[in-house]
């Protein structure tokens, strides 16, 4: 995972106060404000949509049925014509007063938008990659006395990398859900991400200048239709009883008390703060691991909440997921597929193993684009806002890689209020460096 963009320096301070600011961020979602988006080519997509809408009492007219290829990755032309176009028409024709605030994308819809390359681009890309390999070999084998030649090769290599990135158009790939959040925007740049006006990490003056023409998005999806139905049922049942179990937070390093040296350290710090917030709420016991390895198999019984890193596309079977469990793993491409049988990406595996809500990227996201753990979990345990709102407030950007999977109306702590500080004792620390 790379990190190339500067983090917002004040978000950690904001995270510490999120328990007090959360309820005022935006009004809690109502079922009538949800538009369900289904794929008419997948019978289960329609049946699950109607099942969910009945369970959540979403008005029957709040359903748009698309005709989209049955595949996880589509090209941008297909996205624009078969997904964005019909949804935009529905919203403009049937929702003139802007009642809809959130889209629930349903099982059967594609996950990822990819920009195709022409035959000429492919040929040129192969040529550039071959030259790149040749240059690296030449630089590696060059003699120490060949300073001038080495510098020339390094300059050529830098130029090659820029052209490769341009032709690959890697930053024009995105998740369907992150793109469709901007469906009411007539035009916006595709080269990189678009700042999210809901994100509480931006200074208020900056958020004032961001477009408010943005929808929240959450996806009801998974490896099978049966798993999606289970997610719906578990979310509803958990709301009635309250989410029970333990919270597991997997940091890489102990807290240093110093200013974060990098984006990685900032997010690691935020995992520590998330653990503190859950502990102080008294809702459930907390286990914080500061070893530089992930939780090992069997180490996380009765797991209800989780955030950690870094095991790339290799889910570790550490967790006994409780019904209604919510969590995510910070690593690249952990939602690149939900269907491939042999894939061990974290989103797919967490859903297969019993979690009710998770999130992850469909490609290389950069760590700064992940939802901020302290904000996400701080709002979630407060219990006032829905899953979609907690995600929107903690997610820095749209038109990028991230996907939220779960019932957008889910509130796992709807009927649980914070208990006295420290009722479960100190945070359990399972390791250190």
Show me where the domains of the chain are located: 11-114+175-431, 119-168
CA distance 7 to 372: 11
Q: Hey, what's the torsion of the CAs at 66, 52, 176, 358, to 10 degrees?
A: -160
Write phi, then psi, for 328 (nearest 5 degrees): -155, 155
How much is the pLDDT for 3?
A: 37
Please indicate, yes or no, whether the overall pTM of this predicted structure exceeds 0.75.
yes
| Alpha helices per DSSP H over 199-303 | 204-207, 225-241, 263-281
Beta strands in 245-318 (DSSP E): 246-250, 286-289, 300-308
Number of C-beta neighbours around residue 414 at 10 A = 16
Q: What is the CA radius of gyration of the chain?
A: 22
> In a structure prediction context, what are the per-residue pLDDT tens digits for the chain, which is 433 residues long?
433 333 443 444 454 444 434 333 456 899 999 999 999 999 999 999 999 999 999 999 999 999 999 999 998 889 999 999 999 999 999 999 999 999 999 999 999 998 766 677 778 888 988 999 998 888 888 876 677 888 888 889 888 887 876 666 555 789 999 999 999 997 887 777 899 999 998 887 777 768 778 999 999 999 999 999 999 999 999 999 999 999 999 999 998 777 777 888 999 999 999 999 999 999 999 999 999 899 999 999 999 999 999 999 999 999 999 999 999 999 999 999 999 999 999 999 999 999 999 999 999 898 999 999 999 999 999 999 999 999 999 999 999 999 999 999 999 999 774 343 344 444 566 553 2
CA distance 150 to 157: 10
CA angle 240, 241, 246 (to 5 degrees): 135
How much is the pLDDT for 429?
A: 61
Which strands make up the sheet holding 102-106, listed edge to edge? 63-66, 34-39, 102-106, 216-220, 402-405, 358-361
CA distance 43 to 17: 45
How much is the pLDDT for 418?
A: 37
How much is the pLDDT for 136?
A: 87
How much is the pLDDT for 26?
A: 52
Question: What b/e sequence results for 81-99 when a residue is b if at least 16 CB atoms lie within 10 Å of its CB, and e otherwise?
Answer: ebbbebbbebbeeeeeeee
C-alpha neighbours within 13 Å on the C-beta side of residue 182: 24
- Are 404 and 177 in contact by the 8 Å Cβ rule? The answer is yes
Number of C-beta neighbours around residue 331 at 10 A = 22
């Amino acid at each position: 995972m790379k990190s190339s963009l500067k983090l917002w320096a004040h978000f950690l301070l904001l995270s510490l106060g999120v328990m007090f600011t959360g309820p005022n961020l935006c009004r809690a979602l109502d079922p009538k404000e949800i538009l369900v988006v289904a794929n008419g080519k997948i019978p289960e997509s329609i049946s699950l949509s109607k099942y969910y809408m009945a369970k959540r009492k979403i008005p029957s007219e709040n359903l748009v049925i698309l005709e989209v290829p049955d595949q996880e990755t589509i090209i941008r032309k297909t996205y624009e014509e078969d997904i964005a176009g019909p949804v935009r028409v529905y919203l403009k024709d049937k929702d003139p007063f802007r009642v809809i605030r959130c889209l629930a994308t349903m099982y059967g819809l594609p996950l990822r938008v990819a920009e195709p390359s022409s035959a000429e681009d492919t040929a040129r890309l192969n040529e550039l990659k071959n030259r790149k390999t040749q240059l690296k070999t030449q630089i590696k084998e060059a003699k120490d006395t060949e300073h001038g030649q080495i510098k020339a090769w390094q300059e050529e290599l830098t130029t090659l990398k820029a052209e490769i990135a341009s032709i690959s158009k890697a930053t024009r790939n995105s998740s369907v859900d992150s793109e469709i959040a901007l469906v009411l925007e007539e035009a916006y740049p595709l080269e990189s991400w678009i700042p999210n006006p809901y994100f509480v990490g931006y200074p208020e003056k900056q958020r004032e200048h961001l477009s408010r023409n943005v929808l929240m998005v959450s996806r009801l999806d998974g490896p099978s239709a049966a798993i999606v139905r289970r997610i719906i049922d578990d979310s509803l049942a958990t709301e009635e009883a309250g989410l029970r179990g333990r919270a597991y937070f997997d940091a890489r390093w102990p807290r240093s008390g110093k200013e974060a040296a990098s984006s990685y350290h900032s997010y690691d710090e935020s995992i520590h703060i998330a653990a503190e917030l859950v502990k102080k709420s008294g809702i459930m016991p907390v286990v914080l691991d500061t070893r530089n390895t992930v939780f090992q198999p069997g180490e996380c019984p009765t797991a209800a909440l989780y955030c950690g890193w870094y095991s790339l596309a290799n889910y570790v079977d550490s967790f006994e997921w409780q019904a209604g469990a919510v969590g995510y793993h910070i690593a690249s491409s952990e939602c690149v597929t939900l269907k491939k049988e042999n894939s061990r990406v974290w989103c797919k595996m967490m859903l297969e193993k019993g979690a009710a809500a998770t999130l992850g990227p469909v490609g290389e996201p950069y760590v700064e684009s992940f939802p901020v753990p302290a904000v996400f979990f701080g709002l979630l345990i407060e219990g006032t806002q829905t899953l979609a709102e907690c995600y929107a407030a903690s997610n820095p950007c749209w038109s990028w890689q991230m996907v939220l999977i779960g019932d957008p109306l889910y509130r796992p702590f709807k009927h649980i209020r914070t208990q006295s500080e420290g009722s479960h004792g100190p945070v359990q620390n399972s390791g250190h460096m």
